[in-house]
Amino acid sequence: MNLPWYSLFLKSLSRNHSSLLVLLSVTLSFSCTRIPVHVKNENLPDLVFVQIPTTVQPSSFHDGVIFPPSNRYVDGCRIVVLSPGHSEKILLNLTPDFVSACDPDVSFDGKTILFAGKRKTNEPWQIWRMNRDGSEKVQITNGSHDSVAPIHVGARFYLNDEAPTDQIVYMNANHGWVNEVGYGPAYSLYASDLEGNNSYRITFNLNADFSPDVLPNGRVVFSSWQRFGSSLTPTGIFALMAVNIDGTDLMPFYGNFEPPLFKEMVRVARDDRVYFIESDRSIWLGGGDLSFVSRRRPLHTHHVLSSSKDGIFHSPCPLPDGKLLV
């Protein structure tokens, strides 16, 4: 039976043009669910994204005006890949062996995908890695709390290291904090090597930090729930912050005092833009206006590309050719 789905959190499955055709020769021989779809643009690269059943809801709702990002991690999510250039235009389910899987992030060479997944309903979310065809899934984290939203970042190197160590960054709540307003885990950003070893915390906000992405200079930009004690915004305001992958030099990137309240789903493009979604409304899946700032002057270059009068936007995905999928 075909269920209706939300299709969100898109990523290009190729971070360089040389790997655009690799998936086509691999996934056609890979055994998984195939679903016919209709795509107008034949020139799109292979895309990986998350499908969430439209029938699911968060397990609980709160009286506050803000839904923490933890509400979006529901059972039934799956990671699929779409090859628009293929004549049959099929969706391939890469995670049929998981109760739920989301947050795909493609490696810099386009060969592997980091993701958050859970094999059983009562298990915490963990960070996993798989090949781009869905094979050879390897569990990276193994904590007692949820680990989600992994991204590939640069390498960490100290003077006494024999060689640079490639790193990943992800959201985690192992420290046990709850958000300052009293509900939901206060996710922080953690970093580790590619195998999940030598994990260390890099943000220490009293509320949740989430939606990380990596800038060309190696710093991580992310959405941070800030509470300033203002009577106008008693539950706080979301801002974009940036930090080094070793946790040093935490600084505002954009919007730490500017409206609207919510700024998230940060995606860094090659054309100097940092896209994100902003809104004054809190809905459990997120969504709102499509906006961007320049990474060279983020505090002074805010633009709204499409407002809510045109619809609700979600999951901006910069493409290699400079276009944007959303």
* 26 part of a folded domain: yes
Residues of the chain with pLDDT > 70, as a percent, come to 82
Q: Closest Cα to residue 321, out of 269, 273, 277?
A: 269
> What DSSP designation does 134 have?
S
How many angstroms separate the CA atoms of 290 and 312, rounded?
8
Q: Which residue has the higher pLDDT, 305 or 42?
A: 305
CB 103 within 8 A of CB 148: yes
Check whether 219 has a pLDDT greater than 50. yes
| Residue range of the domain that includes 99 | 5-264
The structural domain count of the chain equals: 1
> Does residue 299 lie within any of the structural domains?
no
Predicted confidence band of residue 17 (pLDDT cuts 50, 70, 90): very low
Question: Considering only 42-51, 138-147, 197-206, 219-228, which range has the smallest mean pLDDT?
Answer: 42-51
Other Cβ atoms within 10 Å of 226 Cβ, number: 20
pLDDT digits (tens, 9 = 90+) for 46-80: 889 999 998 887 655 555 556 777 788 999 999 99
Answer yes or no: is 187 within a domain: yes
**Has residue 314 been placed in a domain?**
no
Residue 189 has pLDDT above 80, yes or no: yes
**Other CB atoms within 10 Å distance of the CB of residue 26:** 14
Average confidence score pLDDT of the chain: 83
Is 304 within the bounds of a domain? no
Q: Is residue 280 part of a domain?
A: no
Kindly state whether residue 274 falls inside one of the protein's structural domains: no
Burial tier of 272 (Cβ tally within 10 Å: 0-12, 13-18, 19+): middle
Question: With contact defined as beta carbons under 8 Å apart, do 279 and 285 qualify?
Answer: no
Range 247-251 contact pairs with CB under 8 angstroms and sequence separation of 24 or more: 247/191, 247/200, 247/201, 247/202, 247/203, 249/219, 250/203
Residue 115 domain-assigned?
A: yes
Strands in 273-279's sheet, in edge-to-edge order, are 262-268, 273-279, 289-294, 303-306
User: Starting from the edge strand earliest in sequence, which strands make up the sheet with 138-139, in order?
Assistant: 100-106, 112-118, 126-131, 138-139
* Amino acid at the residue 183: Y
Query: Maximum distance among all alpha carbons in the chain?
Result: 59
Q: For position 56, which CATH number holds? A: 2.120.10
pLDDT digits (tens, 9 = 90+) for 151-161: 999 998 888 88
- ω into residue 164 within 30 of 0, thus cis? no
Give the integer Cα–Cα distance in Å for 299 and 201. Answer: 26
The band of 221, judged by pLDDT with boundaries at 50, 70 and 90, is very high
